[in-house]
A = this chain, B = another copy of it.
Amino acid sequence: MTVATYTVTGMTCGHCVSAVTEEVSAIPGVSGVEIDLSTGAVVVTSEHDLERTAVAAAVDEAGYRLV
């Protein structure tokens, strides 16, 4: 079990949080996604270490940016 925290910019409301949660949750191995809208912190729980590029791609797919 791995827990990693990323920062995502551009999220402004609960819909944005839902969109990022949905895309990041779809990454194979991910079991949990918690997002703090006010800080942009995205805490991802997964079975194994994730490739940062996979997380960045999921965030991009949702329409936001990993920093």
Q: Chain B residue with minimal CB distance to A10? A: B13
* Interface size band for A: under 10
Q: Mark A1-45, 1 if CB is under 8 A from B, else 0.
A: 000000000001111101100000000000000000000000000
Q: How many copies does the complex hold?
A: 2
Query: Which chain B residues lie closer than 8 Å to A63 at the CB level?
Result: 14
Q: How far is the CA of A16 from the CA of B14 in the complex (A)?
A: 9
Distance A19 CA – B19 CA, assembled complex (angstroms): 13
**Per-position contact with B for A42-61: 1 when CB-CB < 8 Å, else 0?**
00000000000000000000
Closest to A15 in B: B15
Q: Which A residues lie at the B interface, using CB under 8 A?
A: 12-16, 18-19, 63
